[in-house]
Structure 1
Amino acid sequence: MPERDHRRVKILVTGPLGVGKTTAIRTLSQIPTLHTDEVMTDAAVGTDDLSLVGLRNKSTTTVAIDFGRLTLPGNRVVLYLYGTPGQRRFLPLWEGIAHGALGALVLADTRRLDESFEVMDLIEEHGLPYAVAVNVFPESPDYDLELLRSKLDLAPDTPLVTCDARVKNSSLTALVELTAHSLSLAGAQA
């Protein structure tokens, strides 16, 4: 579609290892998604701790990006969804992908919230607006959102929602929160 027919918006979907980024993009995308998943090897030992809750059965990981596309109702805005690794060792790749993004949707897991800080630090260092979506796993503890906001040390205006990355409407709600937040910040700066 020519640019005059619609506006293209880049959105990052990021978070720590095994939090559901690939799943969220697969769930939201209207096109077949691009994935760069590879089998995890012994090279990950000492780098990625697979003994953590939720990672014990993980056998593949995204080594570059995930990509999907979502056209919003009215066909005027098309969201390009880029899933990025959250580890600092991917910083050069992350910076290239983040360039020109409207904002970032950070997925978090209540079983290992501390893993989210590195990702949020990267986003804040680059001045990107973001929202946090706590991905609900079957065995995840259920916490009050205000307690989670405190534990994640989020600013009062940073959106915080729960979602199930496997459910389109749930993931879409998180994306809407991010988009509304990013647009309001852009309007305030203008």
Structure 2
Amino acid sequence: MYLSGEHQTLVKLLVAGPFGVGKTTLIRALSETPPLHTEEVMTQTGAGVDDLAGVREKTTTTVAIDFGRLTLPGELVLYLFGTPGQKRFRPLWQDIARGALGALVLADTRRLADSFEVMDIVEEAGLRYAVAVNTFPDAPHYDADKLREALDLHPDTPLVMCDARDREQSVDALIALVGHVLAHTPEENPNP
């Protein structure tokens, strides 16, 4: 039920990553409500701006946000805000990130270097994050240690593999993020 009479814990999370990495797909796979998306057909105007290397088949792009909702056991309600991947939409980032507790950063092994700027933005925003490598069928596969090294991840940062189209794998990626965020969130003292 959308608004139950029970106590719910509401958490805002970002789903971030470079252009064409699967953010919209992941939110669509996860959301228990019809997801809100601002997906538009790509035009020639963006041809000189958007780098389509590795995503030649892409015909649409997010121009503002994607939004979905997922309730986990224990009445933990996750509000998922997908960020646009293109650099020209970076001015929206600060507003989208306001109030978020963490970010799931999607990465693509065909274009790992594209993830660095997004991880930098997330770190500059002071957000905890997990990295989910979207396992595209035609992408090279590497073991976790090599990926962690290539992405220069802190040993504490969760790294998971997932197919963004697969609800169960995507839930597992979010659970890794939520666990990481909660492990680094100070508990409130009920008796000040």
- Band the TM-score falls in, shorter-chain normalisation: over 0.9
Structure 1 portions without partners, runs of 5+: none
Residue 14 (structure 1) shift: 0.8
Structure 2 portions without partners, runs of 5+: none
Match runs of 1:149-188 below 5 Å:
149-187=148-186
TM-score by length of 2: 0.92
Q: 1:188 to 1:157 in 2, by over 3 A?
A: farther
Q: 1:64 to 1:146 in 2, by over 3 A?
A: same
Structure 2 CA distance for aligned equivalents of residues 112 and 3 of structure 1: 45
**Structure 1 vs Structure 2: percent identity of aligned residues?**
63
Structure 2 CA distance for aligned equivalents of residues 22 and 105 of structure 1: 13
Residue 26 of structure 1 contacts residue 33 of structure 1 at CA under 8 Å; is this kept in 2?
yes
Structure ranking higher in helix proportion: 1
Match of 2:38 among 32, 36, 58: 36
Structure 2 CA distance for aligned equivalents of residues 59 and 172 of structure 1: 26
Structure 1 CA distance for aligned equivalents of residues 187 and 104 of structure 2: 20
- In the other structure, the counterpart of 1:123 is 122
TM-score by length of 1: 0.93
Moved over 6 A (4+): none
Residue 50 of structure 2 contacts residue 86 of structure 2 at CA under 8 Å; is this kept in 1?
no
How many residues of Structure 1 are paired with residues of Structure 2 in the alignment? 187
1:64-97 Cα offsets, whole Å, 9 max, x none, are 00000001123x2110011001334323311111
1:8-47 Cα offsets, whole Å, 9 max, x none, are 1101001011111001001110000111011111221221
Match runs of 1:23-62 below 5 Å:
23-50=25-52, 52-53=53-54, 55-62=55-62
Q: Give me the CA root mean square deviation.
A: 1.8
Match of 2:17 among 15, 18, 29: 15
